[in-house]
Amino acid sequence: MTATGPLDVSVLVPAKDEAANLSEFVRQCAAALTPAGFSFEVVVVDDGSRDDTPAVLARLQAEYPFLRVIRHRRQRGIADALRSGGEAAVGDVLVFYPADLQYKPEDIPTLVRPILAGEADMVTGSKQGKYEKAFVSGIYNGLCRWLFGVEVDDLNSVKAYRAEIMRVVPMRPDWHRYMVVIAAVEGFRLTSRPVPLYPRTAGASKFTWTRIPIGVFDLLSVWFLLRFGRKPMLFFGVSGAVLFAVGLVAGIVALVLRFGYGIGFRPLLNLVETMVISGIALFGFGFVAELIAGFREEMREAQRFRSGPPS
* % of the chain with per-residue pLDDT over 90: 34
pLDDT in tens, 15-68: 998 999 999 999 999 999 999 999 999 999 999 999 999 999 999 999 999 999
Beta bridge partners of 68: 43
Contact 162, 183 (CB under 8 A): no
In angstroms, the CA 154 to CA 220 distance is 18
- The helix (run of H) or strand (run of E) holding residue 311 is none
- The answer to whether position 2 is within a domain reads no
pLDDT (average), residues 79-91: 89
For position 158, which CATH number holds?
3.90.550.10
- The range of the structural domain enclosing residue 302 comes to 232-307
Answer yes or no: do 68 and 186 share one domain.
yes
- The helix (run of H) or strand (run of E) holding residue 184 is helix 179-185
- The helix (run of H) or strand (run of E) holding residue 93 is strand 91-96
Phi, psi of 44 (to 5 degrees): -95, 125
Answer yes or no: do 158 and 265 share one domain.
no
Answer yes or no: do 98 and 239 share one domain.
no
Q: pLDDT category, 197, cuts 50, 70, 90?
A: confident
Answer yes or no: do 68 and 133 share one domain.
yes
Q: Among 171, 199, 228, which residue terminates a domain?
A: 228
Handedness of CA 72, 65, 28, 96 (dihedral sign): positive
In angstroms, the CA 148 to CA 223 distance is 7
In angstroms, the CA 306 to CA 88 distance is 18
pLDDT in tens, 104-114: 999 999 999 99
Beta bridge partners of 93: 9, 162
- The answer to whether position 166 is within a domain reads yes
Tell if the pTM clears 0.75, that is, is over it: no
Answer yes or no: do 134 and 237 share one domain.
no
Report angle CA 171, 172, 174 to the nearest 5 degrees: 95
Answer yes or no: do 211 and 242 share one domain.
no
**296, pLDDT greater than 70:** no
Q: Which residues contact 281 (CB under 8 A, 6 or more apart)?
A: 240
Answer yes or no: do 71 and 188 share one domain.
yes
pLDDT in tens, 172-192: 666 777 788 888 888 899 998
Answer yes or no: do 201 and 302 share one domain.
no
**160, pLDDT greater than 90:** yes
How many domains, in total, are found in the chain? 2
pLDDT in tens, 210-263: 556 666 677 777 777 777 766 777 777 777 778 778 877 877 777 777 777 766
Answer yes or no: do 111 and 177 share one domain.
yes
Answer yes or no: do 220 and 240 share one domain.
no
Tell me, what's the pLDDT at 89? 92
